[in-house]
Structure 1
Amino acid sequence: MAGPISSGAAPVATHNPGTRYGPALALLASLFFMWGFITVINNTLLPHLRSVFELSYTQTTLIESVWFIAYFVASIPSAKLIERVGYQKSMVTGLLIMAAGALGMTVAASIPSYGVTLVMLFVIASGITLLQVAANPYVAVVGKPETASSRLNLVQAMNSAGTMLAPMFGAYLILGRSKGGTAQGEVVLTQAERLADAQSVVLPYILVAIVLAVLAVVIARFPLPAMGNATQRHNKEERKKYSLWNHRNLVFGIPAIFIYLIAEIGVANLFINFVSQPDIANLTHEQAGNYLSLLWGGMMVGRFAGSAIMQKFDAGHVLAAFSIGAFVVMLVTVFTTGPVAMWSLILVGLFHSIMFPTIFTLGIKGLGPLTEEGSGLLIMAIAGGALVVVQGYLADHYGLQTSFLLTAACELYVLFYALWGSKTSNALPEQQIAE
């Protein structure tokens, strides 16, 4: 099993060779696409809100911190909801929560209000958390157990497709329709201009809300394959005999996910502001948003390529190589200027691509009947993205370019995990959790 789920729900798939899972997986891939798309809209929304509300870098990155705090707050309630109403209804509920938050963003833009914006982004992120907790394990267990990792990597690539397209959408409909987004470099807006710029958020989020509502209706009416639970009671009893903390790969994997998210989100959130600087690329925010698509596109390409590479090479060794590459390009970003610094920051997307799914897979390896609890802890570690506010503080006090040294330090922990922390200890046989 290779997918995040919080403790309290323990799905066990009963694979039926006669069942066709392709249509269901294709539909579920659309969920991964949408939550990747909406998450990365934030990367174009942040520089927009920075100019509208005249925010510091610390206040700007606090917006993303609120987003990732939702992963910590909402993951356990999400698991409880899934246990009560099932996976399919929980996915529908998650989509409707996201749609409500998207409509709330139009209200926040109409006021406009920084506080209401934070609340609505938290609502959207809570809906995404519910989708994460429901959809990831569903993809992992529906189908042949031996191809679980392949399925999860495939739908994660669709998530990257959403992250690649979102910056273009945001650059055109948010930044391209605002005074702050089309101005060269930093600009101080008048009160009237800030009110006008705030309105540019309304149309994009109305469109997003409509798509989410339609997708919720489709999911509700689609005959998703059932997940077996005949052995669920046996698994709960079996898990009581073991301790999660005897597994080194999980113990070090939880902070690996936490720290990796600081790196990924910090790069994405500050990319537009960084490359817009006169000594880097001297672009408008709208133009920089289009380049951000290349960073996320690199993540999509890297996941497809990494999936193929790991069929021939050890996953830990591949993770080590990618973390070294990420460390090198971040140093180039910090200590150079001009197009070299911009393209090195874009390139880090390629090296970040395999990190989350590979750390996750290595983290649950050998957990046997403890897989569900371990997965729950790993998904809660996504809350590490909330600490991007630390990079915002560094950017305010030591300079935006210097703040990327934090990202470089994060890559070194991933390297440590790949070479040593991911080695399994006290591995349990996987057949104890699935029949």
Structure 2
Amino acid sequence: MPNVATIQPGDYADAPETGLWPARRTSVLDWLVNRTRDQRFLDNIFVELCQRLEASGVGVARAAMFLQTNHPQWLGVRIYWRRGMTEAEMKGSEYESVDSDTYLRSPAAAIHAGVPEIRARLHATPGADDAFPILQDMRQEGMTDYVAWPFSFTLGKQHFITFATDRPGGFRDDELTQLVELLPVLATVVDLRLKNRLARLLLDTYVGPHAGEAILGGATRRGSGFTVEAAIVVVDLRGFTSISDLWPRDDVIALLNDYFDALSEPIEKHGGEILKFMGDGLLAIFPDDAKAATRAVADICRSMAALNLSRQASGQDPLGYGVGVNFGDVMYGNIGSRTRLDFTVIGPAVNIASRLETLTKTVEPHVLFSAAFVARTGCRAMLKPVGTYPVQGVGQPIDVYTFAEDPVLSEPQSCSAEKG
């Protein structure tokens, strides 16, 4: 057990089994309960909370909240404030951080292990920095007292909060009482915002930011949607069936993650939206913007070339892929069963993009554009004809194009006459 004194909530206020409850009304509590409802952002609430505590006479000089998230990249986030700051500092922590020596020797590890509260009187306990190295940094910053408590939220989520003061003698008992009594109200305020943010994060992660915004805006009825002109991009990996049959599961997942990173970053950079990953394939759209789609596809070629160089350097085979690109009207909205919906695009324009991707299996260029897409860009200088081919589901053969210059070797020509 760390060589740091601990305090219990019962030392300062009655604590029924259901949690801590304020024993008295204060201006900070009133603000927290009644005047934060229109503030969406946790960091802004936290900054104002600390400022109000300081203005009310509580000697808070430094504070931080550590919140677990469901972000695909970050395990959690730290929201940090220090006296004089008008904006909080936010920093994510990676999933691997819980195995680091820094974490294992931190107050966070002790709180997560079940220590109910940590109190380190930095002005009076010389051994405190032996328990948690971060306390030595705080002492050097001039902090004289430090306290940490867990946040108990719904669904078993465990977060925690810390406060420090630089006042000679540290926190007074009445200040600790006020801080402890804030916790259940603050936890409720934070929990609501965290769940709202989580809903947006999950929608952004699984359906994309534009579709997520539409869903949050009420587009949840089956069959609801709208028609939009868009460039449609379909990408598929070559030889994935044999790879998935022969490779270990973890290696297949790692390959797909690297491959989808190579595709996704150019699409998102140029304003496209990935609507779905389909096994080893991808469907993306660029609403009313053929020019951005052209740049994104060129960057995909470069990104895949860089990935293949890296794979070859480590003794792995390069990955083949095909890209089909079309432009046209698509229906964008909710499709599915009564209980399971997919927010996606459908229509003949999507089918043609998919057929063009399939055509790359037999036609040498691995990137094919439709004549409708080329007409939309208004510029043929950067694209060249490949031929005229029958496409399944289309009555007449269509003209097919590819890049006039390999985008891996040179930047494709721009065209001032481009539209879209």
**TM-score in terms of structure 2 length:** 0.23
- Greater relative contact order, per chain length (Cα 8 Å cut-off, separation 6+): 1
Q: Give the number of the structure whose residues are more often strand, by fraction.
A: 2
Largest Rg, 1 or 2: 2
Q: Return the structure number with greater helix share.
A: 1
TM-score, reference length from structure 1: 0.22
